[in-house]
Amino acid sequence: MNIIDTSSSSNKNKDFKKSIKNIPLFKTKGIEYELPSKEYTNIIFQSIAAVDFFKEHELIKNKNVFSMGKSTQNYLAQKKIKSISPNSPGSEELKKLLSKNKNDGNYLIVKGEEGLSEIFNYLNVADEIVDEVICYKRIKFDNYEDIKEAFYKVDAIIFTSTYAFEIFFEEIYSKKMNLKFLSISQRISKFIKEKGFNSDLIDYFSNDLEEQIKKLI
């Protein structure tokens, strides 16, 4: 059983077994930003890269910290930062979590360029005081020839973002491929379906990930 995980940050917080190989399809790069304020009660990190490229670490102390999913929560924990995360990754589940943990404070959302705006819009419509800062961008590789062949030899591919699937479809996919698409959230599954493909939803953060995939393929 051979599996590729396309996450750009999996190697930071996940121990991969022999059957799962991490091959990212894009890289991340920090960009300059300015904080609208330094007085926030709640800070929301939408990705691991958001944690990596956010410079104001002193701002996090004694704040309510939220993360979009378990991978970001685990990465924050490695940095001794406690955060609250939904059991399933994604904006919808995080919105539910935020509604149960409301306080009278304000919010800062830390994200990447072209990152999701659902949480910002949700808080804004709810008349919460919310700002967002964009601290990194995602960059496609110059070419994919060096990694293409690996994708032709696998039984399944794990997609942890819609952007990864978009790149895969544009740069690597061939009708000759016979494999399973696996997604870690409903949003990614929906995106893949809109492209005309099926995918299986997996519990990416479980301890029996390999066994899950084995049953699917």
Domain that holds residue 133: 29-138
Q: Where are the alpha helices (DSSP H) in the chain?
A: 48-53, 70-78, 91-100, 118-125, 145-151, 162-171, 186-194, 209-216
Q: Are residues 55 and 8 in the same domain?
A: no
Q: Are residues 193 and 157 in the same domain?
A: yes
State the pairing for strand pair 130-140/26-30: antiparallel
Kindly give, in sequence order, each residue whose CB lies less than 8 Å from that of residue 212, ignoring residues fewer than 6 positions away: 202, 203, 206
CA 142 – CA 38 distance, rounded (Å): 37
From the DSSP assignment, how many helices (H) and strands (E) are in the chain? 8, 10
Final residue of a structural domain among 94, 109, 138 = 138
Q: Are residues 114 and 34 in the same domain?
A: yes
Final residue of a structural domain among 138, 173, 196 = 138
Q: Are residues 76 and 9 in the same domain?
A: no
Q: Are residues 114 and 147 in the same domain?
A: no
| Core vs surface per residue 54-78: b (16+ CB within 10 A) or e | beeeebbeeebbbbbbbbbbbbbee
Q: Are residues 129 and 36 in the same domain?
A: yes
Q: Are residues 79 and 171 in the same domain?
A: no
**pTM assigned to the model:** 0.86
Contact status, residue 18 vs residue 83, Cβ threshold 8 Å? no
Q: Are residues 100 and 190 in the same domain?
A: no
Q: Are residues 104 and 165 in the same domain?
A: no
Kindly give, in sequence order, each residue whose CB lies less than 8 Å from that of residue 97, ignoring residues fewer than 6 positions away: 66, 84, 85, 86
Total domains present in the chain: 2
**Domain CATH for 161:** 3.40.50.10090
CA 36 – CA 31 distance, rounded (Å): 16
- Tens digit of pLDDT at every position of the chain (217 positions): 899 999 987 544 455 556 899 999 999 999 999 999 988 999 999 999 999 999 998 889 889 999 998 889 999 999 999 999 998 878 888 999 998 888 878 999 999 999 889 999 999 999 999 999 999 999 999 999 999 999 999 999 999 999 999 999 999 999 999 999 999 988 899 999 999 999 999 988 788 888 889 888 8
In single-letter form, the type of residue at position 142 comes to: D
